[in-house]
Chains A and B, each alone.
Chain A
Amino acid sequence: MSLVQLLFYLMAFIAVASALFVAATKNLVRSIFMFFVTLFALAGLYVLALADFVAITQVVIYVGGILVLILFAFMLSGKETLNAVGELKRKFININKLPAIILAGLFLAVLITVIFRIDADNLAWIKKAQFTKNVILPTSATTENIGVNLMTRYLLPFEAVSVLLMVALIGAAHLSRKEGSSL
């Protein structure tokens, strides 16, 4: 087993285990801070998938932006969410959660079945990409190619997403203004 595979299994284990902890815990603070760990482990997985620019973007935007926003939402939305800390001593598996567990488990079974039946490593277009050497290698620099593609081939989605960001900015500012100050 090579070092890359070992790192992959380590990262995958950290990501899955911390995600399960985030889902299982009743303490909101712990779940938010464990979500940090999940996002970092996912950034490591992106690096192992040879997408280093996406990994850096993940760290900057998710960890630096989205998680801080979630922390702000948590701190601004009152203290009674902290009361869940006191009632940790309840049953391990709540009977109310059973339908959700069944739903997630069955969906996981469906997804795993589909993944094993589709046999993604032997798809036609992936074989073709390997044959024509259209594969990112660990030695190839991708960021330059991403920049060129962003300004040529993917210019329309880029502009659309910039307009959408502005709409979201104005919408968030409009939603969170004081009630009845200036209508």
Chain B
Amino acid sequence: MISLTDFLIVGAVLFCTGMYMIVSKQNAIQVLIGIELMLNAAILNLVAFGKYDRMDNGGQMFSLFAIVLAAATTAVALAIILNVYKRFKTIDPGQVDKLRD
């Protein structure tokens, strides 16, 4: 069978890729994709450990909750990105630097 360490390593690589995207990208949509990558890495770890919990299904259940949370996050982030674009005419997070109206 596949060992847990393999799953954890794949998750770690995906997590670091997502973190690189969040830090370096100059486009809010790509930052959002990076966040989704990090969430998926976390879900992969939950699912891999959830294999050893047949009675309570703790890992799989909370991975389902995490997927639902990701959907809610994306919906709100989409609305925020569209508002920012309407006001600033750009979605580069580095250029959106005004807090007041």
* Residues of the B chain whose Cβ atoms lie less than 8 Å from the Cβ of A88: none
Docked Cα-Cα span, A121 to B3, in Å, equals: 7
Residues 1-19 of A, flagged 1 when their CB comes within 8 A of B and 0 if not, give 0001100100010011001
* Residues of the B chain whose Cβ atoms lie less than 8 Å from the Cβ of A81: 27, 29, 91
CB-CB nearest in chain A for B22: A100
For the residues of B in contact with A, the DSSP-based class is helix
A101 and B20 contacting across the interface, CB-CB below 8 Å: yes
CB-CB nearest in chain A for B34: A23
- Which residues of chain A (124-145) have a CB below 8 Å from chain B? 125-126, 129-130, 134-136, 140, 142, 145
> Contact check: which of B13, B52, B74 meets A70 at CB < 8 Å?
B74
CB-CB nearest in chain A for B9: A115
Docked Cα-Cα span, A73 to B13, in Å, equals: 27
Task: Bin the interface of chain A by size.
Answer: 35 or more
* Residues of the B chain whose Cβ atoms lie less than 8 Å from the Cβ of A161: 65, 68-69
CB-CB nearest in chain B for A171: B76
Residues 153-177 of A, flagged 1 when their CB comes within 8 A of B and 0 if not, give 1100110010011001101110110
Docked Cα-Cα span, A67 to B82, in Å, equals: 16
* Residues of the B chain whose Cβ atoms lie less than 8 Å from the Cβ of A69: 74-75, 78
A16 and B8 contacting across the interface, CB-CB below 8 Å: no
B96 at the interface (CB under 8 A from A): no
Docked Cα-Cα span, A44 to B79, in Å, equals: 31
Docked Cα-Cα span, A123 to B29, in Å, equals: 39
Docked Cα-Cα span, A49 to B60, in Å, equals: 10
B52 and A134 contacting across the interface, CB-CB below 8 Å: yes
B67 and A57 contacting across the interface, CB-CB below 8 Å: yes
Complex A-B: 27 CB contacts under 8 Å: A8-B2, A8-B6, A15-B14, A31-B33, A35-B36, A42-B40, A46-B43, A51-B50, A54-B64, A57-B64, A58-B43, A62-B40, A65-B74, A74-B29, A78-B91, A100-B20, A115-B12, A119-B5, A120-B5, A134-B54, A135-B51, A136-B50, A146-B57, A149-B57, A154-B61, A168-B75, A171-B76
Known: A31-B33, A100-B20, A168-B73. 11 other contacts (CB 8 A): A42-B14, A54-B63, A73-B77, A73-B81, A81-B27, A101-B20, A111-B15, A116-B5, A125-B52, A145-B55, A146-B60
